[in-house]
Amino acid sequence: MSRAYQLSPSILSADFNRLGEQIQMIEKAECQWLHIDIMDGMFVPSISFGMPVVKSIRKESSLYFDVHMMVQDPERYIEEFKNCGADMITIHAETCKDLAGAVKKIHETGADAGVAVNPDTPLEAVAEVMDQVEMILVMSVYPGFGGQKYIPESTEKIRELRRMLDGKGLDHVHIQVDGGINRTTIDEVLAAGANIIVAGSAVFNGEIEQNARELQEKIRLCSKNGVQFTRHQ
């Protein structure tokens, strides 16, 4: 199966006074994914937004909702976020007492499942569920704030993860990278093996539609025709 490549713009960097309008710009740029960061003020110091925002934008958008839960004990909210419109629910290995159980719970709701690791968390933390998820997210900054610089050591971590997945025959599992992605660092993470690219400031600062198209063109150079994720109805 060919690998799907996607840009997933992060609304954490959007202007919330114009959120609906800016999501429409993303759609005009022919993006298919939207990255939605949920922060609880416990696992990360910041608080972002929750179910009401996801439910509200779901009414007006057909994008694939890539919901990243930076939340302690995320099992508490999995079903609610699916009901609000999440298509992919990504949880952090650092926040779950039973990671495999949480992944199973995500799948039971009908959503796709992702697991994430922070920059200082080894990939071994998600090894047990690599064959049970649709995506693994490598954080290339410390989570909690937008606009941070890419951590260079993340590149080798992405390479290692791709080697691990390929070695297990799991080349269909997507590798997402989130943090410090811009027109320069995007080439590095794509070359390392990532195929789902989260970008916040690089999309929403300035001309949104143009930014998204330029980043997508870089991704397109690395892409192959194949299976693309679509919304769960």
**Which residues are the active-site residues?**
37, 178
Task: Say which residues have a Cβ less than 8 Å from residue 101's Cβ, sequence separation at least 6.
Answer: 75
d(CA 27, CA 192): 27
* Residue 57 burial (CB count, 10 A): 20
Q: Which two tokens stand for residue 29?
A: 């740029």
Amino acid present at 209: E
Place of tokens 């302690």: 72
Task: Say which residues have a Cβ less than 8 Å from residue 14's Cβ, sequence separation at least 6.
Answer: 22, 23, 204
- Computed over its alpha carbons, how large is the radius of gyration of the chain? 16
What is the H or E stretch that residue 142 is in? none
3 state SS for 17-57: HHHHHHHHHHHHCCCCEEEEEEEECCCCCCECCCHHHHHHH
